[in-house]
Amino acid sequence: MLKGIPKILSPELLKVLCEMGHSDRLVISDGNFPAESMGKDAIVIRCDGHGVPELLDAILQVFPLDTYVEKPVNLMEVMPGDTVETPIWDTYKEIVAKYDERGEKAIGNIERFAFYDEAKTAYAIIATSEKALYANIMLQKGVVVDS
- Is residue 50 part of the annotated active site? The answer reads no
- Is residue 66 part of the annotated active site? The answer reads yes
- Is residue 22 part of the annotated active site? The answer reads yes
Cα three-residue angle 20-24-29, rounded to 5 degrees? 95
Q: Which of 57, 66, 92, 134 is catalytic?
A: 66
Catalytic site residues?
22, 66, 116
